[in-house]
Amino acid sequence: MGRAVTEIRFKIAKNPQLSILDLDDVAGIRNEPIYEKLLQQGVSERLARQWIKEHGAAHVAGKIDYVSARKDVQNPVSYLTAALREDYADARAGQGAPKSDRAKRLARLRDVVSARTPTQRDADKRLFMSRLDDAVARLNFENHGWMSALNSDAIFAFWEDLMPNAFEEL
């Protein structure tokens, strides 16, 4: 009132960059053989830990092998970033195209989610979160949303239940 402060209101929101800071080494990420391989490729320590946590060591190892097999790569870190983001797959492994089945399903999932209204998207997230019992799975979903690699099987099952035949043509 007047010039005296009578109330203070705080609005607390989740920081989307928080997942970058939430890279604890409890699981021994630094002891993974793939961690050292990433550092040798020129990937920063923080980014290496983030990739391993987000995608899993086996998936990252597969992408390193994919990038290493390419002859004309001038910037391996940038190419590896794109390979992880777009989920490149080796055409010789029976894929026939740069994207793997997982990447095609994720792209289709992005389209399905973006076609929903904001209200529907919020309700979808709440409904999916209510089905997650594991605290680690919930945290991973909060940080990565529908692109959560840890929850990918549960995410696709959820959307198949919600929208049958959404992934049928894939």
How far is Cα 141 from Cα 132, in angstroms, rounded to an integer?
A: 9
- In the numeric block, the tokens 């920081």 are attached to 15
Task: Give the start-end residues of each E strand in 8-83.
Answer: none
Per-residue pLDDT for the chain (170 aa), expressed as one digit of tens each? 678 888 888 888 876 565 555 545 545 777 778 888 999 889 998 888 888 877 778 888 888 988 888 888 889 899 998 888 887 775 444 444 455 677 788 888 888 888 889 899 899 999 999 999 988 888 888 888 888 878 888 998 899 998 888 877 76
DSSP 89-136: --GGGTT-SSB-HHHHHHHHHHHHHHTS-HHHHHHHHHHHHHH---HH
